[in-house]
Structure 1
Amino acid sequence: MEKLYYRPVARTDSARPDTALTLAGGWCWFDEVEILRRDGEPEIIPAAHLPEEVMERLCNPRTPVAGITLDAPRIMGILNVTPDSFSDGGRFDVEDAAIERAVALRKMGADILDIGGESTRPGATEVEEDEEIARTAPVIAALRDADFDAPISIDTRKSLVADQALEAGAAMLNDVSAMEFDPAMVEVAQVSGAPICLMHAQGLPETMQDDPRYTDVLLDVYDYLEDRIALAEDYGIAREAIIADPGIGFGKTAQHNLALIRGLSLFHGLGCPVLLGVSRKRFIGAVGGAEEADSRAPGTLAVTLAGLDQGIQIHRVHDVAEIAQGIRLWDAIKRGFEE
């Protein structure tokens, strides 16, 4: 049987018809859906004609992530405690500097802090588990000892690193390999009950940008994430504890990335919150004419706003202050502002 994919045509306009449905319990609504097929032309149908199961997945409010509600856009601030990350490597790989940066990101508007001890930029090589733990766990523990008041996510592909981070006080897992790199990550997520972000990536960081190819990048990425979510559920991980990330920049060309961004609302059909990680990515520099990674905040904001217009709940960024300001203005335009 032909598989159909349902992409809600997300809107935020105040002129909302009575027949419109709320998208994922958030700020967007939709009254039309684009049906996509691998073989055949897309078609638009009224949202009221959706199959009941599809409608439920598109409309049900998302469960809070580590205590953070998702009825408004949320910012995940990036803290790389690495010497070689593509944008800020070596700036926060000393514990005191990392803690100072974490506190600053929180004050800037980060709702969640994502700490990573292994670069997964294109061409990066694997870091030994012990080294990755030594980079991340002490920082997490120190932040918890200092009563850091935002949930901390551990950005890792390795189960032992994840386990030690949770022991130190992390509340969320962020696995760019969607539990493929280390299958034992399934057990860590299942036993701990911590929410886990599953991301799509084609290949390993060492080679992922060599020559990425897809039959249909939007549908291929959707199918992959659907399969990984199903596997997680088979192992006892609740769908409510899963976040989906299409993996912008991970084994994808600029054209692949742009196609995914245009179709982001499709991923609400997975029935999970969606995380968008575009911050300072290479394609932003290529399209926007910004060669240096730390000069790509305007382009990052532009893509973030495109995500907001499609109901994307979590935005993983380096430039927290700039993105938070942009989101506040976007929100004021959409929903009003009181002095």
Structure 2
Amino acid sequence: MTTYYRPLVQSGPRPSHALPLCGGPLWFTEVEALRRDAAARILPASDLPEDWSRRLCRPRPALAGLSLDRPRLMGILNVTPDSFSDGGVFNAPEAARAHGKAMAGAGADLIDIGGESTRPGAAEVPVDDEIQRTAPVIEALRDLGLPISIDTRKASVARAAIRAGAGLINDVSGFTHDPALGPLAAASALPVCVMHMRGTPGDMHLDPVYDNVLLDTYDELAARIDAVEAEGIPRARILADPGIGFAKTAGHNLQILQRLSLFHGLGCPLLLGASRKRFIGTIGAASEAGARAPGSIAVALAGVAQGVQMLRVHDVAETAQALRLWLAVRDGAARDGAGPEGTGRA
């Protein structure tokens, strides 16, 4: 029976015997040993097997030109008529460009453009429609100087996006929907985001059942990362996303978020995409998606405290401000300039 090791992440002055989390400023001296057939145990980090120690401690290389020595913000730009949070608001090219520019100015490090809603129950969008929605917007935003990712499950859409200037492929299906997308990503030499999801957006919400949602999600995401790596995409170019809200109930989401640091064991940087999702509205008593910024930020900062390297968010300015304060409290000092590195970006 497999044993999994979750680092109990700490911040502040690092003891000499502590291990660095992903080579960054956070650290751990203990781990939680998890098994399917036994109760969790707390062990000293010195008891870690060598392979787990290596995966948990080694620095994560830059991704899409962004160093990962501090948390990065991926701003969400939906160019769809039916996304759960902002459908129809930015699907005109002029509105999309204006919003992308505003997010860049507010602190986004990367902009994620999607032309197909993946909300629960969503129908698949024809390839030509998805290309027409996304490629012109990517081309219009490429002069902002930020990396742009294409949020798609389809090779044809990704190919058009790459021609338009996209620098990362973000596939909610974990590269299972279109067999041609993995080879395309490998040939392009672009980084990718591999997300955990069961089923499709159309049916993923219909009674999702897990034996152990945390460990099942970890194993299934690890298997997808292995498969993508076997297609020629090195782990150094893979961003891992546990898929909060995808084929998961509110209870499932909370169990994963509570022990999110386990996923550092995948050996990839982690992306957390919980912004404005339904469980935040349910728990936070915010029925309207646009009113869920405070709850979204609370979840985002909980993820950052567990070492998440990238946050996918709708509310960039608000999250950037919260992140600047979180980092200032963690470090005991504010950095020069508006942003953590004096650039105005968080």
> What's 2:177 paired with?
181
Q: Hey, what does 1:209 align to over in structure 2?
A: 205
Query: For the Cα contact (< 8 Å) 1:34–1:43, is it kept in 2?
Result: yes
Counterpart of 2:248 (choices 247, 252, 255) is 252
Between the aligned partners of 1:79 and 1:15, the Cα distance in structure 2 is 38
Q: Which residue identity lines up with residue 312 of structure 2 in the other structure?
A: R
Among 281, 286, 293, the alignment partner of 1:285 is 281
The match for 1:57 is: 55
Matches within 5 A, 1:269-308: 269-308=265-304
Aligned to 2:334: 337
Q: Match of 1:138?
A: 136
Alpha-carbon distance change, 162 to 43 in structure 1, aligned in 2, over 3 angstroms: same
Aligned to 2:317: 321
Q: Could you give the per-residue CA deviations for residues 278-299 of structure 1, whole angstroms, max 9, x where no partner exists?
A: 0000000000100000000000
**Which of the residues 220, 226, 244 maps onto 1:224?**
220
Q: Is residue 30–residue 43 contact of structure 2 (8 Å, CA) maintained in 1? A: yes
| Equivalent-residue separation in structure 2 for 1:219 and 1:118 (angstroms) | 29
Shift in Å, 1:16: 2.6
Q: Distance in 1 between matches of 2:53 and 2:308?
A: 17
Report the CA distance between 1:66 and its aligned residue.
0.4
- Aligned partners of 2:183 and 2:232 also within 8 Å: no
User: 1:44 aligns to what SS in structure 2?
Assistant: strand
Task: Name the residue aligned to 2:100.
Answer: 102
Alignment of 1:8-27 (within 5 A): 8-12=7-11, 14-27=12-25
The answer on 1:158 being equivalent to 2:154 is yes
Which stretches in structure 2 are left out of the alignment for 5+ residues?
Answer: 337-346
Q: Partner of 1:198 in structure 2?
A: 194
Pick closer, same or farther for the CA change 1:212–1:331 going to 2, 3 Å. same
| Mapped contact 2:274–2:313 kept (Cα < 8 A) | yes
Counterpart amino acid of residue 334 in structure 2? F
Q: Residue type matched to 1:52 in 2?
A: E
List 4+ stretches of structure 1 deviating above 6 A.
Answer: none
Q: Give the whole-Å Cα distance in 1 for the aligned partners of 2:13 and 2:100.
A: 40
User: In the alignment, is the contact (CA less than 8 A) between 1:75 and 1:315 conserved in 2?
Assistant: yes
Contact persistence 1:11–1:29 (CA under 8 A): yes
Offset of residue 209 of structure 1: 1.2
Tell me which residue corresponds to 1:43: 41
2:122 is the alignment partner of 1:112: no
Q: RMSD between aligned alpha carbons?
A: 0.9
1:150-194 Cα distance to aligned partner (Å, 9 max, x none) = 000000000110111011100000000000111111111110011
Q: Which residue of 1 aligns with 2:340?
A: none
Match of 2:5 in 1: 6
- Aligned partners of 1:76 and 1:112 also within 8 Å: yes
TM-score, normalised relative to structure 2: 0.95
Distance in 1 between residues matched to 2:290 and 2:275, nearest whole Å: 10
Q: 1:153 to 1:338 in 2, by over 3 A?
A: closer
Q: CA deviation at 1:15?
A: 4.1
Question: CA–CA distance in 2 between the matches of 1:296 and 1:223?
Answer: 31
The 5 Å alignment of 1:69-80 reads 69-80=67-78
- Partners of 2:13 and 2:324 lie apart in 1 by 21
Give the superposition deviation at 1:235: 1.5
Alignment partners' CA distance in 2, 1:141 and 1:291:
35
Following TM superposition, by how much is the alpha carbon of 1:338 offset from its aligned partner in structure 2, in angstroms?
5.2
State the secondary structure of the residue aligned to 1:41: strand
Displacement of 1:143 after TM fit?
1.7
Taking only the aligned residue pairs, the percentage that are identical comes to 58
Give the SS at the match of 1:42: strand
**Equivalent position amino acid for 1:72 in 2:** R
Equivalenced residue count is: 335
User: Residue 27 of structure 1 contacts residue 311 of structure 1 at CA under 8 Å; is this kept in 2?
Assistant: no
